[in-house]
Amino acid sequence: MVASTSIFWLSVSKQISHSLEKYTRMILIKARIATYRNTAQRLILFFVLGIFVSTQPACADDEGYLSSSEIGAITIVSAGSFAAGQYLKNTFGKTKPRWTEPPGIDLWFANSLGTKPRPGPLNFMDSNRASGINVFIAGSIVASLDAAYPNADRTKDILQGQFLYYSGLLAQKGIGGIFKGVVARQRPIARLYPNVVSQDNRYSKAFYQQSFFSGHSSSSFYAMTFLNKRIRDAMRQQMTSSEFDSWSWLSPVVTYGWATYVAGSRIHAHKHYFTDVVAGAVAGWLIGELFYSFGNNVREDSSEPMLLKVSFEF
């Protein structure tokens, strides 16, 4: 009787021990996921890029599409700039801020557009998740346009369009990281409201000295530039010259209007200065123009071109 009772309680204690160990591991894993959330997002980007790189042989070296050497060069440049950006951001970006005193225009916009600071999100776009959803939605719309209005071969257009879009996104992230690491500018909320920062545990200390330039602004202007140019190409396919002239304003107003809202939200949340979002917007626009232009060889071969193609357009 005593022996059976001892065996019973020994079994119970083992079950309790295993349960405690299981839940402890779950807590640690969740904490680790929260700590390395940004790393997970970067791995997702690499994973997405890898998918499209692996599917590119379906259209590589076909007439009117990127060649395998062009695909390789774009991949190396995108991944290389991304890796350099992450290295500089995580190395030099964690040192003492090298730019702490903002010019007068930055203070004016911060006081005019900024909300009352407090711990936690300060507006709809004040999170990395919102920024990520923004660019992935734009990429999905680009894929839908390639499927609905193919310039040549629908499948190949989708693959090439997505490859260029996400390659450019990697490059944009990398260039932003390079600037954040090299400039090491203190964020306005850390410069103007240090007491609020001490109460907000969402970000690391390094985050508050990586203000220049705005990643949200850069990624939004990149995504909206790429999307705007794809919409306008689709409009050219489906409209006459006069119809296009009548409606050509709509796409840039909607896309760049949204990108401007995102940029303004960063000033509103005291996460970036005015000069941060302007520099980010210019960088995102230029990168979007560049990577979209890489696919011009197939778009210029459209069977019934309605208008002459113009680079760097709004």
188-231 residue pLDDT tens: 988 888 888 888 877 877 788 889 999 999 999 999 999 999 99
Report in angstroms the alpha-carbon separations of 114 from 24, 129, 193, 264: 41, 21, 12, 9
Give the pLDDT score at 131.
Answer: 82
Least confident segment among 57-61, 151-155, 244-248, 267-271: 57-61
Q: Supply the pLDDT for residue 99.
A: 82
pLDDT surpasses 90 at 66: no
Whether pLDDT at 252 is above 90 = yes
Is the pLDDT score of 15 beyond 90?
no
- For residues 63-85, give the mean pLDDT: 88
Which sign does the torsion angle of CA 139, 142, 147, 148 carry? positive
Helices (H), the chain: 2-35, 37-55, 68-91, 104-113, 128-148, 154-183, 188-192, 194-199, 215-238, 241-247, 250-268, 274-293, 296-299
CA dihedral angle for residue 294, residue 65, residue 81, residue 275, rounded to 10 degrees: 30
Is the per-residue pLDDT at 64 higher than 60? yes
Highest mean pLDDT among 11-20, 41-50, 195-204: 195-204
pLDDT band at 309 (very low <50, low <70, confident <90, very high): very low
- Greater confidence, 84 or 129? 84
Q: Is the pLDDT of residue 95 over 90?
A: no
Q: Tell me the whole-structure pTM to 2 decimals.
A: 0.79
> What backbone torsions phi and psi does residue 282 show, to the nearest 5 degrees?
-65, -45
Whether the predicted pLDDT of 94 surpasses 90:
no
Look at residues 176, 174, 165 and name the one whose alpha carbon lies nearest to residue 135: 165
Percent of the chain exceeding pLDDT 90 equals 40
pLDDT at 195: 87
Mean pLDDT value of segment 65-76 = 87
The predicted structure's pLDDT at residue 12: 46
Which pLDDT score, from 0 to 100, does residue 121 have? 83
Distance CA 168, CA 43 (A): 16
CA–CA distances in Å: residue 185 to residues 46, 50, 103, 244, 279: 27, 33, 12, 44, 13
Torsion-angle region of 79 (φ positive above 0: left; ψ -120 to 50: alpha; else: beta): alpha
Band of residue 52 on the pLDDT scale cut at 50, 70, 90: low
CA neighbor of 271 nearest in space, from 220, 201, 214: 214
Query: Region 162-186: what's the mean pLDDT?
Result: 92
> Greater confidence, 46 or 74?
74
Give the CB-side neighbour count of residue 145, counting CA atoms within 13 A.
23
**pLDDT above 50 (res 174):** yes
Residues paired with residue 185 on neighbouring β-strands, in sequence order: 99
> Is residue 312 helix, strand or coil?
coil
- In the predicted structure, residue 49 carries a pLDDT above the cut 70: no
